[in-house]
Each structure stands twice: as structure tokens, then as C-alpha cells.
């Protein structure tokens, strides 16, 4: 029995050796599949001694002869610096070659690298196109990424209904980050009907997983629920989401400080945050800041800053800011008295109150 086992082992050994030698001969005379298979053997150490440098050599030779899987393997080795220095540009170029020939994994990696600018010039527009290719076959990450593009209006027009469509595709595959983003859409009232109950349900798992967007969502849910405990919870969630870089939190924190909602009233702190907000908020926030500088609320009276912020607000079509400027120029407060300028601001205020203009 032992002799039989030894004999069979020897047969298998010499058969394997013959196969390996035959494979190497085929690779050396230009058989592309043999080149790839030889690369795999050197990479894994199955069939011959492991030698990743030789693996890269054979993968790259096969890749240069249009072997798709070898393109991907070569890209991976340059990407990770296996048996060679990390070369992100070479890695990207091989991923791109494979992606253009329909290699699924490479297509997603190309999209990610274009988005981050790894080994290639950053290009959100090119990244979007590759994510779209992947999303069309229901690739989970790509579906979420398309949702992000439409939610943020990055490269494509901002469209929350499209964002919802793609997030739902990712949620169907249990993508936790997509759940948080979909919950966000349900509480922002932009483009889709608000649904706080749906947002609550979607946000449970992301909150446990500490997904940054989930803290903002939870803040919004608590902010609009009755009770002081909810307001305090909302304030804490907005603080956490701000720490994670969710910029929308700043507006809500500023207003909660300003109104003493969920936290002691602190106009000075509110104004500090308000002055960092983007121009999107000028209509409302510009007017609040202007009043603070005019009346010395939380800051020293500053006529120039008051007028500057009234103008920001008025140019964003705030009626009260227009009226305030009309009074300022009429009275000559902080500026040279100018009846013509006063009338211009008053006329704009009157026009803004016409229903057809408010459409």
C-alpha cells in the first residue's frame, strides 16, 4: 500500500513538473494565455516557487498583448507595490485598458481613481461616466456615488428625485451609507416629499455604524419634534455632524445658538458661525447679521458691516433688508444721505412683494 502511494505521488510530481515546463515553453514562444497562467503560478506559488517579480513580468507581457485579466493583475501589483515600487500612474493606465475592454472590477476602480485623482488628473466628469457604466449593472457603490452626484449637483444638475432613484438601488443591496443619504433626502424637503417616519427608519442602522450623515439626519428629526429634550438632542447631533464635516450643520447650530434652542442663547457664538456660512444663506442670515451690527447684539455696533450685510441680504431678495437700506440712505446712517438710492431700495422692496415676482 505504501509503495502504491509513493508511486502515485511520484507520478503526480513529475506530471506537475512536466505541465509547468510545458506552460513555460508555451509562454516563451508567445502563447498569451500561457503567459497569464505562468504569472498566476509565480504569484501564488502553486506549481512552482513563488516569485512575484517573475509574476509581474509575465502578467505585464500578457497585458501588453491585450490579455484583459493580466491588465488587471498588472495594475494591482503596481497599485500595491508588489515586487516593484508603487506606481499609481502605471496602475491607472493598466486599469483603464482593462476597463475599456469591459473588465468590471477595473471599471469601478477607474471611477474611484478619477474621483480621487490617484495616478491620473482628478476629473469628476470622467469619474461620473465610469460610475454610470457600473451603476447600470447595479454595482452597489456606483449606485450610491451617482446618488451623491445628483444630490450635490456635482457635474450633473442637482436633482433629488434622481438621487433618490440611485440611493434606493444601493439601499436594495443594504448599502448603509446610502440609507443615511436617502434619509437625508427625506428630511430636507428638496425635490421629494418629506417623510420623517421613513427617514427615522432608514437612519437607524447608519447611526449605529457612525455614518457622518446620520448625525445630521438625527439632528433634523429631533429639531422638529416637540419637547426640550428633543431640542437638546438635536443640538448635540448637529455638533457631532459638524465634527464629521457636514457643513449643513453650521446653519442649524447658528440658529439654535441665536434662538436659545436646545442650548443657552449665545448670539455672539451664533454670529461667529453665521459669518462662515455660504452665500446660499444670505437672504435670511445676512439680515440677521446686519441687525446685530446695527443694534449691537452680540457684537459692537459697526455701521459698515451692518450695511454690507443688509446689501447681501437685499441682493438675495430679502424684502426687509431692502426696506432697511431704504431707511439707512434716507436718514444717512453710516453713509452719505442719498434719496435716489433710498428710493431704489424701496422700489425693489415693493416689487418683491408683488405676488407675480414671488412665484
| Contact call for residues 119 and 84 (beta carbons, < 8 A) | no
Summarize the confidence of residues 187-194 as an average pLDDT: 84
Per-residue pLDDT band for 357 (boundaries 50, 70, 90) equals: low
Is 119 within 8 Å of 111 (Cβ atoms)? no
Per-residue confidence (pLDDT) for residue 356, from 0 to 100: 57
pLDDT recorded at residue 15: 45
Host domain of residue 270: 210-277
Residue 178 counted as domain residue:
no
Query: Does residue 51 lie within any of the structural domains?
Result: yes
Residue 15, in any domain of the structure = no
143 occurs within a structural domain: no
Decide if 247 is inside a domain: yes
pLDDT tens, position by position, 62-75? 999 999 999 999 99
DSSP string across 134-156: HHTTT-HHHHHHHHHHHHHTSSS
Tell me: pLDDT of 91 over 50: yes
**pLDDT tens figures, 305-334:** 999 999 999 999 999 999 999 999 999 999
Assess if residue 282 is contained within a domain: no
For residue range 242-273, what is the model confidence (pLDDT) as tens digits? 999 999 999 999 999 999 999 999 999 999 99
Of 244, 277, 310, at which residue does a domain stop? 277
- pLDDT score for 12: 39
Burial (CB count within 10 angstroms: exposed 0-12, middle 13-18, buried 19+), residue 166: buried
pLDDT, residue 3, reads 55
Q: State residue 358's pLDDT score.
A: 53
Q: How far apart are CA 23 and CA 11, in angstroms?
A: 18
The enclosing domain of 53 has a CATH number of: 1.25.40.10
Q: What's the pLDDT tens digit per position in 114-146?
A: 999 999 999 999 999 999 999 999 999 999 999
Rounded Cα–Cα distance for residues 150 and 56 (Å) = 40
Q: Is 297 helix (H, G, I), strand (E, B) or coil?
A: coil
| CB-facing half-sphere around the CA of 250: CA atoms within 13 A | 15
Q: Is residue 72 part of a domain?
A: yes
Residues 6+ apart with CB under 8 A from 9: none
How many whole angstroms separate alpha carbon 9 and alpha carbon 33? 28
pTM score of the predicted model: 0.84
| In-domain check, residue 345 | no
Which domain-ending residue is among 70, 95, 122?
Answer: 122
Query: Which of 122, 146, 171 is where one domain is finished?
Result: 122
**Is residue 17 predicted with pLDDT exceeding 60?**
no
Q: How many helices (H) and strands (E) does the chain have?
A: 20, 0
What pLDDT is attached to residue 291?
98
Please tell me the total count of domains within the chain.
Answer: 2
Q: Please check the confidence at residue 13 and state whether its pLDDT lies above 50.
A: no
What pLDDT, on the 0 to 100 scale, is given for residue 29? 85
Residue matched to cell numbers 443657552: 264
Amino acid at each position: 500500500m505504501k509503495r502504491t502511494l509513493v508511486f502515485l505521488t511520484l507520478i503526480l510530481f513529475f506530471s506537475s513538473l512536466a505541465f509547468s515546463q510545458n506552460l513555460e515553453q508555451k509562454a516563451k514562444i508567445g502563447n498569451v494565455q500561457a503567459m497569464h497562467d505562468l504569472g498566476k503560478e509565480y504569484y501564488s506559488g502553486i506549481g512552482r516557487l513563488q516569485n512575484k517579480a517573475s509574476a509581474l513580468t509575465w502578467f505585464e507581457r500578457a497585458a501588453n498583448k491585450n490579455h484583459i485579466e493580466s491588465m488587471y493583475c498588472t495594475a494591482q501589483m503596481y497599485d500595491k507595490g508588489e515586487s516593484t515600487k508603487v506606481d499609481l500612474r502605471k496602475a491607472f493606465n493598466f486599469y483603464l485598458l482593462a476597463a475599456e475592454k469591459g473588465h468590471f472590477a477595473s471599471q469601478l476602480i477607474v471611477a474611484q481613481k478619477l474621483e480621487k485623482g490617484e495616478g491620473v488628473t482628478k476629473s469628476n466628469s470622467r469619474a461620473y461616466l465610469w460610475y454610470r457604466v457600473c451603476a447600470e449593472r447595479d454595482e452597489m457603490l456606483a449606485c450610491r456615488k451617482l446618488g451623491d452626484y445628483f444630490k450635490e449637483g456635482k457635474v450633473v444638475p442637482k436633482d433629488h428625485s434622481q438621487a433618490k432613484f440611485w440611493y434606493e438601488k444601493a439601499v436594495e443591496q443594504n448599502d448603509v451609507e446610502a440609507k443615511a443619504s436617502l434619509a437625508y433626502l427625506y428630511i430636507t424637503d428638496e425635490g421629494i416629499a418629506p417623510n420623517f417616519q421613513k427617514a427615522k427608519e432608514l437612519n437607524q442602522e447608519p447611526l449605529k455604524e457612525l455614518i457622518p450623515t446620520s448625525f445630521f439626519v438625527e439632528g433634523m428629526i429631533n429639531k422638529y419634534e416637540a419637547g426640550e429634550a428633543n431640542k437638546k438632542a438635536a443640538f448635540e447631533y448637529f455638533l457631532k455632524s459638524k465634527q464629521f464635516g457636514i457643513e449643513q450643520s453650521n446653519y442649524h447650530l447658528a440658529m439654535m445658538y441665536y434662538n436659545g434652542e436646545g442650548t443657552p442663547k449665545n448670539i455672539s457664538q451664533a454670529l461667529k458661525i453665521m459669518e462662515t456660512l455660504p452665500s446660499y444663506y444670505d437672504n435670511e442670515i445676512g439680515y440677521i447679521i446686519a441687525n446685530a451690527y446695527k443694534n449691537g447684539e452680540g457684537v459692537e455696533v459697526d455701521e459698515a458691516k451692518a450695511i454690507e450685510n443688509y446689501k447681501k441680504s437685499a441682493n438675495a431678495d430679502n424684502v426687509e433688508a431692502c426696506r432697511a437700506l431704504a431707511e439707512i440712505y434716507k436718514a444717512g446712517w453710516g453713509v452719505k444721505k442719498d434719496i435716489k438710492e433710498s428710493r431704489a431700495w424701496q422700489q425693489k422692496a415693493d416689487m418683491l412683494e408683488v405676488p407675480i415676482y414671488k412665484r
